[in-house]
Amino acid sequence: MKPAPFRYARAGSLAEAIALLAAVPGDSKVLAGGQSLVPMMNMRLVRPAVVVDVNRLRELIGIMPTPEGGLRIGALTRHAELAASPAVIERAPLLAEAARHVGHAAIRNQGTLGGSVAHADPAAELPAALLALDARVRMTGPRGAREVAADAFFRGLLTTALEADEILTAIEIPAQPPGWGFVELARRPGDFALAGVAAVVRVGHPLTLPSPPRGGEGASEARCEMVRLVGFGVSDRPVRLTGAERLLTGAPLDAGSAARAGVTAGPACDPPSDVHGSADYRRHLATVLTERALLQALARLRPGPR
């Protein structure tokens, strides 16, 4: 299929891009990697009058460490760059791991962080990772620059806090705690996930005891000071699994508590049913994958080789 007629404009600066969007309010789209926009235009699910190409905007490029141990990542950063960047691997390894799960190599080489976040597909990996990392989304429009916490940015199916005349410019990520896990299940490599879970955990002190036997619990006295669990593919947006978070906060982290958190997480999800899986099946996946993500985090908190 072919898109409906539209006008193409290549912006030479951020100010020019914002002016182009503002000139046709609500009837223009930003083109970055195009991995979501172009198929939607070809299927005529969207019919913008103007497409504004921002790929030459240097203001949107770069992965910059911050003094506090976090990162500022430009919106035009490609998925493949996230997966391979030494700074991301060191300071936000959860994000690097999530980027490795995105689509196929051709998609990762072309798709952008900002494009994935702005598109807000509920089964996408990067929005879920950013929500787990407590990231902030920076955007600029005719009224100036502003930033929104990831918790408030994703509002529903393909719906965000980004206004029609604004451009997403960067993502701010705080220092990541050492305990983290990321798991998903897809029908085939490269497919959208049927369900997935991202976990970030901070405990009161390092785990120094040996790993417990399979299925064991209570071998560690380390208690969760903070836990963020995010499900994707299980709602109309990436969602915090707050019931499981409350169960774990202040409690010892072990195989038993991970399993109980999974049992709490699954029934609380509200996933869709489609030809690939029923809502009940996706709730079951949320249960299993929450436990697995927490066990990954627990393994990363223990000393020694993994």
Domain 179-301 = CATH 3.30.390.50: yes
Band of pLDDT at residue 25, cut at 50, 70 and 90: confident
Q: Mind listing the pLDDT tens digit for each residue in 83-120?
A: 999 999 999 999 999 999 999 999 999 999 999 999 99
Mean pLDDT score of the chain:
93
Q: Which residues pair with 74 in a beta bridge?
A: 170
Q: What is the pLDDT of residue 158?
A: 95
CATH code that applies to domain 58-173: 3.30.465.10
In 3D space, the residue among 20, 15, 18 whose CA is nearest the CA of residue 6 turns out to be 20
- String of DSSP letters for 140-151: EETTEEEEEEHH
Q: What pLDDT shows up at residue 204?
A: 85
What is this structure's pTM? 0.93
Distance, in Å, from the CA atom of 98 to the CA atom of 182, rounded to the nearest integer, reads: 7
Assign domain 7-53 to a CATH class.
Answer: alpha beta
Q: By CB neighbour count within 10 A (0-12 exposed, 13-18 middle, 19+ buried), where does 43 fall?
A: exposed
- Residue 190: predicted pLDDT: 87
State the DSSP string of 210-239.
PPPPTT-------BEEEEEEEEESSSSS-E
Q: List, for residues 128-169, the tens digit of each pLDDT value.
A: 999 999 999 999 999 999 999 999 999 999 999 999 999 999
Q: Write down the domain spans for the chain.
A: 7-53, 58-173, 179-301
Of 30, 185, 189, 37, the C-alpha closest to 105 is: 189
> Which residue has tokens 């970055």?
32
